[in-house]
């Protein structure tokens, strides 16, 4: 029975050894080899309590299902068993970990000379200053010998562990190349940081300052991840548990600040901006978790938060670009590239894609490309604002030149008029009454001329406004002419058929031509074209009428006007344009007839009431709509208040509402002269106007007119 148990034990040992069978990792000169599952067996140490003696005696080693060693759980430890052969001329085999956050890397082996267990840790300082910046172990093994080593890896983050075995020459060459690449990337980051800091000092735009912070924390994050933090931090626990995660959180904050300022999210996202602020909240929770020692949870949340931030910012960039914000184009491209690199990095760390030189360095490579695109975005933003400024300057120069031209022409005209009138006075001094009448006419023309000078500022707007309706007429004339030509030919065919009743050939020609031209279609087309011409003529007449009203030269004669009767009369005129769902309520005080210019006052009332009606009609839905007209009689002034439940106005619209040709109506619905004329009428009466309006709630306009106008 005892023999049977011994045989069974040996069979079990053999089966275990066969199940965990791996290849010997042979290191040749000028060669480096990534430690894959082909060369190691793995042992999980979840609590991190196993000793090397327990590991040596353990039969629980197994072949890994992942290509590279992987810490599948946060705050865990794994042991790797590797059979290694030194096939080089050197007695050192460097082993390093790159682009990974680990808390401990220990190497154990049994010295073949004295049979003692030797322990080497990454916490032991290297003799070479350049080698202190990376996570590496120098394993001593004689050339041509084979030995079994045990690697213990511990980390608070769940990630893959890219272990690479080198020959000494390959290690030094690899480190040199990596230092050159990282130095070049650091140089690029430094140049971009200083350049944008200079732009911030010149332009004063906070986008550049936040971009400098973004570059700084991006560079620090990548440098620390690649082991360069050992220069400043000898305590690896502080570096991995506090410094690296805090730098990542600061990177997230700087990114949110830069994007928010560069894309003007507070202004452009409006109601959605509060959801953008939630990203700040997530990074604040991460910072608190790190400071209070919840490092494992913090590393898991960092991956989730950065991925959520990347997707959110890409969606925001695409949304703003679609909405027409052109500076978002380069941001969208740059951040899209960076998002892809983050997703590749996360998938690589989870073992979902192959680990190689490209995927290992995808973040720094894409970061450089992203920074170039972000810099292009900032430069494009400068060009965007510069273009707007140049356009405004050119427009101002054009207006100034046009005003100067008009002023010069008016001065010449005035000088000519004065010369003409002077000559007329010399010639006609015997006829004093005629001379006085001429002087009155001249004075009136001078007043009109001064008013027309102000119209010079409107020249550019008039040309644009009147061009559209004229196109209605000009574009319809040729088709209308063709239709009439076909009708005339059809009439000629009818005439020929009637003149030759005995010749059926003429009738056949008539029928063939009638089917060819389709008189019903021609009739409909003529009607449509005439309607278009009529619409263009109507809109042109409306613009011309508005301009004529604005520059009208009414008689400068004061007359009395009953304000209450004038309001009722204007409401009667406008009654057909007021929809049924608008309730007009006049609350009129008893006011004595006012000394004023009646035509102007009526024009003012019509414009103000019409604007209130339009503001209500512009709403999407209508409920309890009303216009309240109130007059008040005070000792020295009268007040006219018009309150509506329309769409209301923004602060920007209120500031520009009295500018000539400024309108919020659609093209073809208004010329933008109405309120400008109203303002001129009130000024002419030495009165004042006050506007109180809130977007979505309506508008109240109060007009104050003096009683003692003389």
**pLDDT over threshold 60, residue 132:** no
Residue 177 confidence (pLDDT): 81
Pairing type for strands 25-28 and 582-588 reads unpaired
**pLDDT over threshold 70, residue 624:** yes
Q: Where are the beta strands (DSSP E) in 39-145?
A: 40-45, 62-63, 70-71, 76-87, 92-97, 104-110, 117-121, 135-140
Determine what percent of the chain is predicted with pLDDT higher than 70: 75
Specify the CATH architecture of the domain 2-166. Sandwich (2.60)
**pLDDT over threshold 80, residue 237:** no
**Which H or E element spans position 148?**
strand 146-155
Better pLDDT: 141 or 135: 141
pLDDT single digits (tens) 213-228? 888 887 787 777 666 6
Beta carbons within 10 angstroms of residue 610's beta carbon:
16
Average pLDDT, the chain: 76
Of 52-56, 185-189, 446-450, 585-589, minimum mean pLDDT range: 446-450
Distance CA 311, CA 335 (A): 9
**pLDDT over threshold 90, residue 492:** no
Report the CATH fold assignment for 559-706.
Heat Shock Protein 90 (3.30.565)
Pull the structure tokens for residue 567.
Answer: 């309001």
**pLDDT over threshold 50, residue 133:** no
Distance CA 566, CA 151 (A): 100
Better pLDDT: 307 or 19: 307
Pairing type for strands 582-588 and 625-633 reads parallel
Q: Quick one: DSSP state of residue 509?
A: H
Distance CA 379, CA 331 (A): 11
Residue 66 confidence (pLDDT): 80
List the one residue out of 372, 384, 387, 258 whose CA is nearest residue 326: 384
Q: Quick one: DSSP state of residue 332?
A: H
559 dihedral zone (left: phi>0; alpha: psi -120 to 50; beta): beta
Mean pLDDT of 54-71: 85
* 189, burial (CB in 10 Å: exposed 0-12, middle 13-18, buried 19+): buried
* 3-state secondary structure (DSSP) of residue 327: coil
Pull the structure tokens for residue 659.
Answer: 């500018």
Which backbone phi and psi does 637 adopt, to 5 degrees?
A: -135, 160
pTM for the full predicted model: 0.44
Better pLDDT: 177 or 368: 177
Q: Write b or e for each residue in 429-440: b if 16 or more Cβ atoms lie within 10 A of its Cβ, otherwise e.
A: eeeeeebeebee
Q: Write b or e for each residue in 375-407: b if 16 or more Cβ atoms lie within 10 A of its Cβ, otherwise e.
A: bebbebbeeeeeeeeeeeeeeeeeeeeeeeebe
User: What does the DSSP assignment read for 149-210?
Assistant: EEEEEEESS-EE--EEEE-HHHHHHHHHHHHHHHHHHHHHHHHHHHHHHHHHHHH--HHHHH
- CA geometry: angle 475, 479, 481, nearest 5 deg: 115
Better pLDDT: 70 or 128: 70
Residue 228 confidence (pLDDT): 66
Which range has highest mean pLDDT (105-109, 275-279, 427-431)? Answer: 105-109
Ordered alpha helix ranges (H), 456-562: 459-499, 504-517, 519-550
Pairs from 684-689 (Cβ < 8 Å, separation ≥ 24)? 684/597, 684/600, 685/596, 685/597, 685/600, 685/601, 685/709, 687/637
**pLDDT over threshold 90, residue 642:** yes
**pLDDT over threshold 90, residue 530:** no
Ordered alpha helix ranges (H), 204-326: 206-225, 236-238, 244-262, 265-268, 273-291, 295-322
Q: Are 197 and 209 in contact (CB under 8 A)?
A: yes
Q: Where are the beta strands (DSSP E) in 563-697?
A: 582-588, 594-596, 625-633, 637-644, 688-694
Distance CA 121, CA 102 (A): 12
Distance CA 337, CA 40 (A): 35
Q: Which residue reads 């050992």 in tokens?
A: 230
**pLDDT over threshold 50, residue 3:** no
Residue 65 to residues 20, 78, 305, Cα–Cα distance (Å): 12, 14, 28
Considering only the C-alpha atoms of the chain, give the largest distance between any 2 of them, rounded to a whole number of Å. 159
Residue 105 confidence (pLDDT): 85
Each domain of the chain, given as residue ranges in start order, spans 2-166, 175-385, 393-457, 464-550, 559-706
Pull the structure tokens for residue 215.
Answer: 């570059």
pLDDT single digits (tens) 314-337? 788 788 878 877 777 777 777 777
Q: Quick one: DSSP state of residue 272?
A: G
pLDDT single digits (tens) 575-588? 777 888 999 999 99
Better pLDDT: 201 or 151: 151
**Which H or E element spans position 28?**
strand 25-28
């Amino acid at each position: 029975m005892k023999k049977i148990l011994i045989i069974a034990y040996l069979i079990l040992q053999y089966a275990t050894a066969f199940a965990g069978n791996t290849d010997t990792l042979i290191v040749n000169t000028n060669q480096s080899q990534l430690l894959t599952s082909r060369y190691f067996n793995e042992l999980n140490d979840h609590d991190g309590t196993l000793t090397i003696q327990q590991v040596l005696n353990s039969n629980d080693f197994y072949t890994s299902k992942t290509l590279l060693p992987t810490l599948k759980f946060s705050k865990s430890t794994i042991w790797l068993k590797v059979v290694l052969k030194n096939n080089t001329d050197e007695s050192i085999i460097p082993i390093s970990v790159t682009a990974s956050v680990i808390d401990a890397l220990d190497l154990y082996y049994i010295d073949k000379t004295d049979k003692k267990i030797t322990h080497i840790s990454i916490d032991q300082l290297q003799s070479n200053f350049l080698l202190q910046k990376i996570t590496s172990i120098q394993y001593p093994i004689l050339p041509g010998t084979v030995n079994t080593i045990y690697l213990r890896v511990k980390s608070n983050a769940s990630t893959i562990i890219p272990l690479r075995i080198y020959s000494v020459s390959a290690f030094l060459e690899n480190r040199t190349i990596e230092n050159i690449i990282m130095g070049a990337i650091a140089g690029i980051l430094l140049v971009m940081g200083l350049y944008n800091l200079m732009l911030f000092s010149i332009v004063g735009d906070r986008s550049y300052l936040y971009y400098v912070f973004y570059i700084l924390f991006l560079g620090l994050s990548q440098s620390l991840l690649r082991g360069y933090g050992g220069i400043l931090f000898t305590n690896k626990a502080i570096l991995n548990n506090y410094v690296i995660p805090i730098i990542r959180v600061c990177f997230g904050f700087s990114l949110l600040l830069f994007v928010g300022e560069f894309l003007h999210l507070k202004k452009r996202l409006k109601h959605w901006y509060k959801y953008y602020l939630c990203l700040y909240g997530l990074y604040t929770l991460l910072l608190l978790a790190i400071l209070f020692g919840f490092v494992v949870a913090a590393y898991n949340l960092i991956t989730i938060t950065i991925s959520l931030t990347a997707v959110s910012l890409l969606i925001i960039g695409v949304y703003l670009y679609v909405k027409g914000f052109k500076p978002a184009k380069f941001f969208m491209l740059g951040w899209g590239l960076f998002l892809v690199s983050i997703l590749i990095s996360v998938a690589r760390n989870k073992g979902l894609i192959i680990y190689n030189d490209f995927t290992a360095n995808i973040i720094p490579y894409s970061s450089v490309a992203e920074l170039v695109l972000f810099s292009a975005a900032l430069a494009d933003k400068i060009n965007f604002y510069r273009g707007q400024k140049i356009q405004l300057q050119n427009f101002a120069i054009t207006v100034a030149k046009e005003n100067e031209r008009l002023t010069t022409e008016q001065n010449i005209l005035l000088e000519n008029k004065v010369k003409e009138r002077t000559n007329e006075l010399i010639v006609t001094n015997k006829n004093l009454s005629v001379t006085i009448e001429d002087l009155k006419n001249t004075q009136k023309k001078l007043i009109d001329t001064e008013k027309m000078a102000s119209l010079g500022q409107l020249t550019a707007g008039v040309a644009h406004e009147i061009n559209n309706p004229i196109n209605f007429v000009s574009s319809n004339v040729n088709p209308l002419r063709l239709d009439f030509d076909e009708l005339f030919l059809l009439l000629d065919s009818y005439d020929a058929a009637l003149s030759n009743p005995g010749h059926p050939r003429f009738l056949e020609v008539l029928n063939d031509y009638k089917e060819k031209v389709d008189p019903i279609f021609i009739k409909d087309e003529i009607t449509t074209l005439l309607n278009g011409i009529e619409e263009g003529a109507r809109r042109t007449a409306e613009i011309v009428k508005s301009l004529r009203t604005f520059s009208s030269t009414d008689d400068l004669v004061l007359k009395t006007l009953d304000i209450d009767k004038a309001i009722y009369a204007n409401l009667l005129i406008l009654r057909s344009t007021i929809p049924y769902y608008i309730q007009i309520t006049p609350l009129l005080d008893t006011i004595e007839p006012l000394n004023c210019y009646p035509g102007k006052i009526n024009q003012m009332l019509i414009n103000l009431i019409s604007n209130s009606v339009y503001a209500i009609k512009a709403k999407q839905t209508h409920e309890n709509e009303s216009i309240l007209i109130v007059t008040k009689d005070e000792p020295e002034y009268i007040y006219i208040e018009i309150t509506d439940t329309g769409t209301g106005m923004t602060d920007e619209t209120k500031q520009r509402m009295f500018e000539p040709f400024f309108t919020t109506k659609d093209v073809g619905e208004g010329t933008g002269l109405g309120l400008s004329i109203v303002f001129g009428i009130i000024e002419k009466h030495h009165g004042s106007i006050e506007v109180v309006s809130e977007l979505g709630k309506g508008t109240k306009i109060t007009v104050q007119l003096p009683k003692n106008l003389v």
